Amino acid sequence: MTIRLTNSKTREKEVFAPIDPENVRMYVCGPTVYDRAHLGNARPVLVFDVLYRLLRETYGADHVTYVRNFTDVDDRINETARKRKEAGAEGTLEQLIAERSEETIAWYHEDMDALGAMRPDHEPRATAYIGEMIAMIEKLIEQGHAYAAEGHALFSVDSFNEYGALSGRSVDDMIAGARVEVAPYKKNPMDFVLWKPSSDDLPGWDSPWGRGRPGWHIECSAMSEALLGVEFDIHGGGNDLMFPHHENEIAQSCCVNPGTDFAKTWLHNEMLQVEGKKMSKSLGNFFTVHDLLEQGVPGEVIRFVMLSTHYRKPMDWTEKKRAEAEATLRKWRAMTADVAAGAIPEDVIAAVSDDLNTAGALTVLHRLASHGDAAGLKAGAQFIGLLTDELGGWIAPAADLSAWENKLATARETAMQTKDFSQVDALKTMLLDAGVEVRMSKAGVELIAGAGFDAAKLVDVD
């Protein structure tokens, strides 16, 4: 099936044609490992997880390579480690930085696994590719695209005529709209750091410009080239990375390898909101994936909510969406519990192939469920990472609540005659406290055990 993707660089939806169908390659910018992943960090992980699944289905699992890096050398990691040392932690600052990176990477894997995200084929750490970064910087300096100054190496933006093509901004616009670091050693305020000095207590490596560490942008250029080659098919990330990070990656990589395009297709997901507002600590609506998991929100529910909005639209996390997603997944899992998955429905593949329209794919799944096609529902859902065995642990074995349904129905019938609803209210309160969802309609009473169901709390009430 033809795949169409919206290329951020051309601003058009294009037919995806890989450089080599036998070797489809994708690079996605990963996290800086200084703390837990917040909910917004999970969005690109799930967006590109769905794309990875689509590419594997289309070209074969053995013909797709997915790379997502870990930035494990960064000022924020250093600051976190410094605070630990000041609080009395043992070890050198460099040891504490390494410990923090290892700890945070383990957290990241744990949280993203809980969302059903497949691990990439390669997860390179920046610190393992310092030699490649130094070699790339040396070549840029030799070519006249970079220069050394006061222990720094900087990229000369003026040397790359296409700078700004990805974000669609002129250099003057970028200077006006960005927080540009002004430094006396820069020839142009927009020139960005490729290498910078390190103090003795911080991580550092010997280089032609002195002991130091790489700038952020050069890391991804070096790692992607080492693992995917000088040109590859897809580069992705959140749209907050378009400028300056991705713009700078293009400049470095295209200059160091003249005549190449670096990445053919650029994909960027929109940002996440919470209850209609930007997520921020000042608004009190900032939380991590781990926070939600600890609160009892299943990873599969988080995944469902994320996929319910197209990746190029802002994703609004709301309590209503969470509750609706949980209710839908409970129904689907009950419907498909003893059913083998059939063939993946073509309508589901078609939706995902049309610019990763996961919201459209979910619409198809709802239709399959309404038609009673359990085998198609299961196959289509598993194609986008839902209803998998790995994510099913949050569903408790079905509880037999028929006796309580009868009691509540009888109490309601009596109350309709006596106009005394105290018994009904008492039963509902007890059931809700036990983690039971209570549904009453003209058709009767339906009770559904929730994720936190506790049978011990079901006691007769007067």
Question: Cα(30)–Cα(235) distance, rounded to whole angstroms?
Answer: 11
Is 281 annotated to bind a ligand? Reply is yes
For the stretch 89-93, contacts whose Cβ atoms lie closer than 8 Å and that sit 24 or more positions apart, written own/partner, are 92/201, 93/201, 93/202
Which value, in Å, is the radius of gyration of the alpha carbons in the chain? 26
Task: Output b/e per residue, 132-158; b: 16+ Cβ within 10 A.
Answer: bbbebbbebbeeebbbbeeebbbbbbe
Is 220 annotated to bind a ligand? Reply is yes
Residue 106, classed as helix, strand or coil, is helix
Is beta strand 64-68 parallel, antiparallel or unpaired with respect to 146-149?
A: unpaired
Is 94 annotated to bind a ligand? Reply is no
Strands (DSSP E) found in 132-176: 146-149, 152-155
Phi, psi of 59 (to 5 degrees): -110, -10
Find how far residue 248's CA is from the centre of its chain: 22
CB 132 within 8 A of CB 223: yes
Tokens 């190449």 locate to 260
Is 29 annotated to bind a ligand? Reply is yes
| DSSP label of 1 | -
Comparing CA positions, the residue from 99, 103, 105, 81 lying closest to residue 201 is 81
> Using omega within 30 degrees of 0 as the cis cutoff, is the peptide bond preceding 244 cis?
yes
Binding site, annotated residues for Zn(2+): 29, 220, 245, 249
Binding site, annotated residues for ATP: 281
Binding site, annotated residues: 29, 220, 245, 249, 281
